[in-house]
């Protein structure tokens, strides 16, 4: 993944877009020493949006289950043990 300042990217935008589109490269734009934005291939955006939707659905389901008095929470360590994780 390439990082560059936003001002440098302004002068290289056509080349950056070519690299992103052709090589599926991600380019992080920085300002004031901090990452502020990313230029990503459109296919990556679709994946990110699907993951965000799934995260929202999972959070909604978790909230519903936490409110259900029939649901008995499993302590974290017990869940790890059941799943065979250390």
pLDDT at 49: 93
> Based on the domain organization, do 27 and 49 belong to the same domain?
no
Q: Which residues pair with 29 in a beta bridge?
A: 4, 37
Interatomic CA distance for residues 13 and 27, integer angstroms: 11
Given a cut of 70, the residues of the chain with pLDDT beneath it are none
- pTM value is 0.63
pLDDT at 51: 95
> Based on the domain organization, do 66 and 81 belong to the same domain?
yes
* Sequence-separated contacts (24+) of 72-75 with Cβ below 8 Å: none
Domain span including residue 79 = 42-86
> Based on the domain organization, do 60 and 86 belong to the same domain?
yes
> Based on the domain organization, do 32 and 57 belong to the same domain?
no
pLDDT at 69: 84
> Based on the domain organization, do 81 and 52 belong to the same domain?
yes
């Amino acid at each position: 993944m390439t990082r560059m300042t936003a001002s440098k990217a302004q002068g290289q935008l056509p080349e950056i877009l070519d690299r992103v589109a052709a090589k599926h490269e991600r380019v992080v734009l920085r300002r004031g020493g901090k990452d502020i934005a990313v230029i990503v291939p459109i296919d990556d955006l679709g994946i990110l949006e699907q993951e965000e939707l799934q995260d929202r659905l999972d959070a909604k389901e978790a909230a519903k289950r936490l409110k259900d008095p029939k649901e008995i929470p499993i302590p974290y360590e017990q869940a790890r043990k059941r799943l065979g994780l250390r």
